[in-house]
Amino acid sequence: MTTTVLRHGRVLAGAQFRDDLTVVIEQGRIVALERDPDPEAPVRAGQVDLAGGWLLPGFIDAQVNGGGGVLFNNAPTVEGIAAIAAAHRRFGTTGLLPTLISDQPAVMARAIDAVRRAIEQGVPGVLGIHLEGPYIAPARKGTHDAATFRVPGADELALASSLDNGVTLLTLAPERVPLESIRTLADRGVVVAAGHTAATYEEIRAGLDAGVRAFTHLYNAMSPLTGREPGTVGAALDDAHSWVGIIADGVHVHPASLRLALAAKPAGKVFLVTDAMPPVGAQDPSYVLYGETITAVDGVVRNAAGALAGSALDMASAVRNAVSWLGVDLAEAARMASTYPAQLLGLDEFRGHIAEGCIADLVLLDTHLQVQRTWIAGL
């Protein structure tokens, strides 16, 4: 049995950082957090010197459309998923949901099967799938192709809930899907999120009562908060139990609006996502979506109509931005990138923490919060 011991780091253990701990890893899990008996002693064979860096739980990204030059919709294969996951690992993401934006049933079926096989084959970092649409609202479609939108029947509810070895997150518009269908999805273990929706406050409340647990990229592609009509944004901020994902790139949402969300929601209910597209981790800033070539310019991704088409954000940058713009410390920014998404996805028993018994998914940042190394299941 190979034992790995991580020393000389600032370890996020519980609510705070500790600089006196060693992290002991065996067979892909953290088996102990121990006081370093001699912190001045040199690092021996089998030990890793963290050189004073910040050791955090590995980041979990619930919304990854692409990376490494690959768009999941265009390559719903094990190889495509592996390329996306490898690209995001460079930025501290040790767990992700490849995200399929609105598409035809045949593509959805291929994507779900590819994720199932990727998990079976042990592709590092794959936790499940995010189906973003196609059960969404034309009025808030963003860059999605409205020609793919539809109301799911029994066959598609079965398809959307068919992944049997990973998590399924499904973004839908509650006003477009019968409440009984939302209940069916939730009962089958699907994590249902509201997004790309023109719903009223009352329609969102009904969706929450039926099983909606989260909101996809808060503020974007949803009915806004106004004085007399709270809309989707108002319902999301008003609800104490649901989670909200935020894209902290300074483009999708003004930092002041993100700070308002943090002030409104209970602690632990705001988490970071990237909504990343193929340029992340790639040299080529361009990619093809629905037959249209889209190019990231100065880190901003828009289609020809001017709609934001995902992002060029990586999770390490999102963490840095949360610290710089949102008034949170590094420990809280790390939880927003790991602990809270793990809780939403029901994975927090073994992920999203640095604790005995947890899977050894870890990321090491230097003093400038740049990624130095990642571990997925201890490797």
Tokens for 63?
A: 């919304």
Pick the closest to residue 114 from 81, 153, 139 (CA basis).
81
Q: Binding site annotation covers 199?
A: no
Q: Binding site annotation covers 217?
A: yes
Q: Binding site annotation covers 310?
A: yes
How far is Cα 241 from Cα 267, in angstroms, rounded to an integer?
Answer: 10
* DSSP three-state, residue 340: helix
Pick the closest to residue 1 from 36, 28, 35, 33 (CA basis).
28
Q: Binding site annotation covers 221?
A: yes
**Number of other residues whose CB lies within 10 A of the CB of residue 304:** 9
Could you say which of 61, 239, 275, 314 is catalytic?
Answer: 275
Q: Binding site annotation covers 143?
A: yes
The torsion region of residue 313 among left (phi > 0), alpha (psi -120 to 50) and beta comes to beta
The identity of residue 255, as a single letter, is P
Alpha-carbon distances of 340 from 61, 64, 192, 246, 350, rounded to whole Å: 11, 17, 16, 12, 13
Residue 238 appears among annotated catalytic residues: no
How far is Cα 77 from Cα 135, in angstroms, rounded to an integer?
Answer: 23
How far is Cα 366 from Cα 52, in angstroms, rounded to an integer?
Answer: 8
Tokens for 178?
A: 């019968």
Q: How far apart are the first and last CA of the chain?
A: 14
* DSSP three-state, residue 267: coil
Residue 149: φ, ψ to 5°: -70, 145
Q: Are 172 and 187 in contact (CB under 8 A)?
A: no
**Bond into 134 cis (ω within 30):** yes
Angle made by CA atoms 309, 65, 308, in degrees to the nearest 5: 10
Known binding-site positions for Zn(2+): 132, 196, 217
Catalytically active residues, by annotation: 275
Known binding-site positions: 132, 143, 196, 217, 220-221, 228, 252, 308-310
Known binding-site positions for substrate: 143, 220-221, 228, 252, 308-310
